[in-house]
Amino acid sequence: MNKNYITLGEFIISNQQDFKYSSGELSKLINSIRLAAKIVNHEVNKAGLVDIVGAAGETNIQGEDQQKLDVYANDVFKSALIKREIVCGITSEEEDDFITVEGKYNAHDNKYVVLIDPLDGSSNIDVNVSVGTIFSIYRRTTPQGMPVKKEDFLQKGSEQVAAGYIVFGTSTMLVYTTGNGVNGFTLNPAIGSFYLSHPNMTFPERGSIFSINQGNYAHFPKGVKDYIKYCQEEKEDRPYAYRYIGSMVSDFHRNMIKGGIYIYPTNSKAPKGKLRLLYECNPMAFLTEQAGGKATDGYTRILDIQPTELHERAPIFCGSLKMVEKAEAFMQKYKEN
Ligand code: AHG
Ligand code: MN
Ligand code: MN
């Protein structure tokens, strides 16, 4: 069939047999995310029209202002997953602690937990710039039939079963992997269906875009400062173009298509960086590797980091393989032992 005529729903069904002993639970779960994505899309698209823009007057556990759409997206994804009793647990950037899903049909029997950044790039909402949603799915490690425990969420990123993002951009796309490559689906808003528009997405091995918040330059580690200088140098295929939206999902999406590196390093004011290991770094690292790229914290593969806290942060360098390797070489040079 012509790829342009495959909907996300059809794609999910036709790929279900890729999973050994699949009971269809993961397919139903991804379908729930698909539905929530459409609902959030509807709200994001009219953000400028209704009184939904602006701070909700609450702060989340990390002390950040929650925007109304943060709260809305969090509620939509939570209720899509809880009401359908399709997962046994959820943890979200916007929640203080993990949520145990209980229900009429004993949701404790479900196999999967979902970790989510419901609205990524929320400071961009008020200015009509692309935002996103990031999700990550693991098989629980504690026995089925019991309430989930924190350890079900504190798994290494290498244990992810699926991960993806929705980018609410000039068009809305859902991009995800179940460990078998990365596929992108574009929403046709007139029909309300996602169509396979970007099969087998891969990072070009080398790119010519670097993305990092250079406003923090003075506080960056020496390796990062030198890598930035390298990107700006007039030599070989450089200088690279500098692009930074401030929504990780959008920066990542552009770099995957065009070739580039995204960096959110440590800085002297944020010794572990800013991005959250569970909700941002791990899912994006899984997608990166599935798309042939590389994701590290400067020294270690992101997917090999053992998390210890739900909301912990990690520095990240991800994108085109050769670019990340080069950045790592600069980091290695100044590594303190
Ligand atoms: P969130 O909106 O979920 O809190 O995430 C914002 C993140 C990420 O999307 C973005 O790349 C980064 O913060 C931007 O941070 P700076 O403003 O420090 O560059
Ligand atoms: Mn985010
Ligand atoms: Mn967020």
Fold of 3-198: Fructose-1,6-Bisphosphatase; Chain A, domain 1 (3.30.540)
Q: Determine the average pLDDT of the residues in 130-148.
A: 97
C-alpha distances in angstroms, 115 versus 93, 173, 295? 8, 19, 19
Q: Sketch the domain layout of the chain as residue ranges.
A: 3-198, 209-333
99-103, 236-240, 247-251, 301-305: least confident range: 99-103
Taking the model in full, what pTM does it have? 0.95
Q: Is 117 in the pocket of ligand 1 (CB under 6 A)?
A: yes
Atom nearest to 117 CA in ligand 1: 3
Residue by residue, DSSP assigns 213-230 as -GGGGGGS-HHHHHHHHH
pLDDT in tens, 35-93: 999 999 999 988 777 666 556 666 777 777 656 899 999 999 999 999 999 999 999 99
What are the backbone dihedrals phi and psi of residue 59, each rounded to the nearest 5 degrees, phi first? -120, 150
Pocket test for ligand 1, best of 261, 274, 276, 318 (most atoms within 8 A of CB): 274
Q: What is the whole-number distance in angstroms between the Cα of residue 283 and the centre of ligand 3? A: 14
Q: Does domain 209-333 have CATH number 3.40.430.10?
A: no
CA pair distance 113, 202, nearest whole angstrom? 27
> Does residue 248's CB lie within 6 angstroms of at least one atom of ligand 1?
yes
**Whose CA is closest to atom 12 on ligand 1?**
246
How far is it, in rounded angstroms, from Cα 223 to Cα 321?
Answer: 18
Q: List, as ranges, residues with CB under 5 A of the ion ligand 2.
A: 117, 120
